[in-house]
Chains A and B, each alone.
Chain A
Amino acid sequence: MSAVLKPKPKAIVCDGNEAAAWAVSLARVDMVAVYPITPQSSLVEYLAKFVADGKLNAEIVDVEGEHSVLSVLHGGALAGARTYTGTCGPGLAFMFEPYLRTPGLRMPMVMSIVTRDTLTPQSVWGGHQDAMSVREVGWIQLYCETVQEVLDTTIMAYKVTEHRDVMLPVNVCHDGNYLSYGAARVELPSQEEVDAFLPPPSVNWHAALDPSRPMAVDPLTGGSGGPGPAMFVRYRKGQCSGMQHALAAIEAAHEDWARIVGRRHAPLVESYRMDDAEVALVTLGSMTGAGKDAVDEARSRGVRVGLVKVKTYRPFPVQAIAKALSGVKAVGVVDRSVSFGWNSGPLYQDVIGALQIAARRPAAMSFIGGLAGADITTDHFGRVIERVQALTQDGQVGETVWLNERD
């Protein structure tokens, strides 16, 4: 019997925005740049308060807009700083120019997207449309289900982003309203545990703005030949390769976290009651809780239904999804955003793409719910399960179903 007693973890009650701020403090971030936007505002308020209270030993830069938020962090990172910020919706749209540049610079960084539906119609409410609109820009995107997962994932994200084989920025997405303001019991890891998990910052070994090792950062590529398009192509290929390496880095980070802190989250996808499932729901973010409840309820009636939660959305875990869904007959993918070009949800597109390599290709239908802060309830999920069950009978993949159309 071990003589060493593990100290009892410190538990607090907080919302997702405060949980993210705690994670930033524990990750010993050097620099945060802040600008408020609903529903992220309380997050930057917590950061400012933590700095003022001495809980967070970071340089805080209060800038005049999101474009500068990310630009300040670009400068900080190129000088070697571990950096953090958070934004959403219109703020994310405004920072798009430097946002686009961040992965190209192979710049490690963590930014929360406190997801919000995009304009217009005017809306300050939750939805994944903001994060989804930037899904193909080159950032890693991790979606959280719970407040605890927000805290843990934000710390783990630093291990992923600064991994030498990855060197790509990470968005930790947590749902506006539901996770940003929803309070829950959260276990705070100790600083010692986080220090054991997370090595010191390793940010600008590859590209730096430092007079002690002068270099030109991001010069113009040439017009032709070796230093031109060919270099550009190799660079792009390297970015994609970094994204693929991220899958393993995310799994390793979750494994390390479980080993040191004792809490295990599924790194890429989580399979819930999938063992003998005939139909499956696929979910993203905080809706998953209601989805699991609906699965439990249906199971109690003998329906063989399970749920697959996507945690890592970019890079898309194609193999893991295909594996998780290859045993079912039909799949219902519930999106909290819209793919305008496909008249479906974007996750649905990704899932049916991944199923192309599945051993057995189940039929799949797209469901869209939770836009502009609408609640996706167990009843909604019940309807989804019913519709997907019908799919196993008739194989008729119908039009996309809009869940909150008549709520």
Chain B
Amino acid sequence: MGAYNTISFKPEHCNGCNACMTACATAKTGSADIANSRIQIVADGDAFELAMCRQCGDPKCVSNCPAAALDKDAGNGVIDWDGSKCVNCLLCTVGCAYGGIVYNAAAGHVVKCDTCDGDPACVKACERGALKYLTTAHIYNEVGDLEDLFVPGLAGCQGCNTELIMRHAMRRIGPDTVLATPPGCIPGMGSVGYNGLTGTKVPVFHPLLTNTASMLTGIKRHYKRQGREVNAVALAGDGGASDVGFQSLSGAAERGEQILFICVDNEGYMNTGMQRSSCTPFGAWTSTTPVGERGAGKTQDAKNLPVIMMMHNCEYVATASTAFMEDLYDKLDKAIAASKRGFAYLHIYSPCTTGWRFPSQENIEVARKAVEANFVLLWEFNPRDGLQLTRDVDQPLSIADYLKALGKYRHLSEDQVAHIQATVEKNVSFIKGLAEGRHPAMAQAMSGRA
């Protein structure tokens, strides 16, 4: 069975405006009477709840129906109601725990959501983003059967985002790969192995922290010379990419080596005890930028490594986040394709539950907030089209809310928050400028290899 697209509801973004219900009623009956809406927003004190069909995987409405009038469509996952078979017994409504199929007096029979054939009117009407139509199902359907190229039970921290990135990336890249994992969390959790065992199903090695891109250069060049198609892939931390490994990274990018370099950015040396890297943001606590009588976290802004990589005029450069998986997979596919032609660099932000100090179950939410607050910008670059933002940056959530979610920023003063806010705005302006071609010198510098 495949996965299906679905409508999601975030009650914290809902203000009970009823626009979704009006839109649904109008779409389904031609009248704006919200009593006829297939989606019902129900006030519960100050909060709101959703009564609507979940298009369940094991639908009780279907199993309760004695007339076979309800059936789950294997193609799109929607539970279809067939009026020609319905006997109006209402047993389906008894089976549903979500108020998702109810008797409608005006219609004279039960009604339920049919997702408007994949283009739900309610979602389009929701201005606050409380309702979303999630279309990530295709990712699961496309890659779900591909082999996970890491063994089960890697020893990452609970809720590790990096492990997700590794598994997703390698599943997509496939087995004809040589994988470099320079010292850091990625080999630290056992991918290269320990005690004579390996954690990866493809050839894998520890480069030095300094020479990942150079070792991959040698591997790729020799296989190319032999006429063999082998992917040369790095899964490297931000420290190994932006600090001591930067020279070899820059060199390989400048030479246009056919390498896919994935930088997993958890904003520091998390494996060795959470020390500062040049990708650590301003104000962040780390074990080498501690907070004390005089110390108040890092005193410099993060190096913008993906922009620096873009200025190498790589075949492809993008930033991504695990909270936006369709975007991530789209970029992963493009990066894999680009690495057959030249250097591809993917910078994936990876909130670190241990080093950033937040509860492990909140990892994806932290990743999402970082993007929604413009702390992390999602964009992509190729030499033909230049830089493009892949997510709107015009209505960011509050940066303070993002910072508050993380223990490493707990000590921040108002001035420090203001500095971060200003840095974020400056970066948005800079990246938007690049996207809109407002930096002619840079646009020229990036326009194709001379």
Interface residues of A (CB under 8 A from B): 30-31, 33, 59, 61-65, 67-68, 71-81, 83, 97-98, 101, 208-211, 213-220, 222, 227-228, 231
Contacts and interface: CB of A to CB of B under 8 A. Distances in A.
Given A31-B222, A75-B216, A227-B196, A67 B255 contact: no
A164 B202 CA distance: 26
Contact of B255 (A59, A62, A218): A62
A83 B219 CA distance: 12
Interface residues of B, number: 43
Contact of B214 (A63, A78, A81, A209): A63
Contacts of B176: 211
A214 B201 contact: yes
B201 A31 contact: no
Contact of B204 (A30, A98, A217): A217
B5 interface: no
B202 A222 contact: no
A211 B202 contact: yes
A75 B201 contact: no
B221 A59 contact: yes
A215 B192 CA distance: 9
Nearest to A228: B195
Label chain B's interface by main secondary structure.
mixed
Given A71-B211, A210-B203, A211-B177, A216 B193 contact: yes
Which 8 residue pairs are nearest across A and B when measured between Cβ atoms?
Answer: A75-B218, A64-B251, A71-B211, A71-B214, A76-B218, A219-B193, A216-B198, A68-B214
B228 to A, nearest CB: 9
B254 interface: yes
B223 interface: yes
B207 A71 contact: yes
A73 B214 CA distance: 8
B218 A79 contact: yes
A222 B187 CA distance: 14
Given A68-B251, A222-B194, A214 B202 contact: yes
A98 to B, nearest CB: 6
Contact of A79 (B201, B202, B219, B248): B219
Given A209-B178, A209-B219, A216-B203, 12 more contacts: A30-B222, A71-B248, A74-B218, A79-B218, A81-B218, A97-B210, A210-B230, A211-B176, A216-B199, A217-B203, A218-B206, A228-B195
B225 A72 contact: no
8 contacts: A62-B255, A67-B211, A71-B210, A73-B218, A78-B215, A101-B208, A209-B205, A219-B197
A211 B193 contact: no
Contact of B221 (A31, A208, A215): A31
A123 B215 CA distance: 31
B185 to A, nearest CB: 13
B175 interface: yes
Contacts of B197: 219
A259 B232 CA distance: 43
Contact of B218 (A77, A228, A231): A77
B388 interface: no
Contacts of B206: 217-220
Contacts of B194: 219-220, 222
B203 A208 contact: yes
B187 to A, nearest CB: 7
A98 B212 CA distance: 11
Interface centre among A65, A71, A217 (most CB of B within 10 A): A71
Interface centre among B193, B200, B203, B222 (most CB of A within 10 A): B222
Nearest to A64: B251
B195 A222 contact: yes
Contacts of B222: 30-31, 59, 75-76, 79-81
Interface centre among B204, B214, B230 (most CB of A within 10 A): B214
Given A30-B222, A61-B221, A76-B219, A231 B196 contact: yes
B240 to A, nearest CB: 13
Contacts of A71: 207-208, 210-211, 214-215, 217-218, 248
A222 B218 CA distance: 29
A97 B210 CA distance: 9
Nearest to A231: B196
A83 B218 CA distance: 10
Interface centre among B175, B176, B203, B204 (most CB of A within 10 A): B203
A75 B193 contact: no
A98 B208 contact: yes
Contact of A218 (B201, B205, B225): B205
Contacts of B192: 216, 218-220
A78 B202 contact: no
Contacts of B254: 64
Nearest to B174: A211
Contacts of A79: 178, 218-219, 222-223
Contacts of A73: 218
A272 to B, nearest CB: 42
Interface in B393-449: none
B251 A65 contact: yes
B64 interface: no
B251 A97 contact: no
Contacts of A101: 208
Interface string B160-193: 0000000000000001111000000001000011
B202 A31 contact: no
Contacts of A63: 214, 217, 251, 255
A77 B217 CA distance: 11
Contact of B178 (A61, A97, A211): A211
B250 interface: yes
Nearest to B219: A75
Given A75-B216, A222-B194, A68 B248 contact: yes
B225 A59 contact: yes
A233 to B, nearest CB: 15
Contacts of B226: 80
A79 B221 CA distance: 9
B247 interface: yes
Given A63-B251, A72-B217, A76-B219, A215 B198 contact: yes
A207 to B, nearest CB: 9
Contact of A209 (B175, B196, B201, B203): B203
B166 to A, nearest CB: 15
A333 to B, nearest CB: 36
